[in-house]
Amino acid sequence: QVQLVESGGGLVQAGGSLRLSCAASGRTFSSYSMGWFRQAPGKEREFVAGVSLRGAITYYGDPVKGRFTISRDNAKNTGYLQMNSLTPEDTAVYYCAAARVFGRPWTSKECDYWGQGTQVTVSS
């Protein structure tokens, strides 16, 4: 019983930064691992980053390591994705998701809830 709403997407130039937010409903958000996935047209949905229940452990997909930072604030029922040094290859719809997977990274198929997505476009 988690509803997720992403925000913060938009158009940025290569090398720029953007911060995405994921607002969750209710009090159950803290019972789920939270992650970000992205999907470009014609491509598979790709794992971007994940964070454990209390924010202590983070995981990143190889393309974004060192550039993106995932975090969460359970008191605010909100997750975040800070994206720096953006490139045109980061252009995609970004989705927030919740999963009851603990102690390891997870795939999109393991996610129970999804937000509607927010478009990120990086110009060259």
**Predicted confidence (pLDDT) per residue in 46-94, tens digit:** 999 999 999 999 999 999 999 999 999 999 999 999 999 999 999 999 9
pLDDT at 13 over 80: yes
C-alpha distances in Å from residue 84, one per residue of 12, 21, 37, 42, 122 = 11, 15, 16, 24, 11
Nearest to 69 by CA among 85, 50, 86, 82: 82
**DSSP state, residue 54:** T
pLDDT of residue 71: 98
Put residue 45 in one of left, alpha, beta given phi > 0 → left and psi -120 to 50 → alpha.
Answer: beta
Dig out the tokens for 64 from the structure. Answer: 């974004």
pLDDT at 1 over 90: no
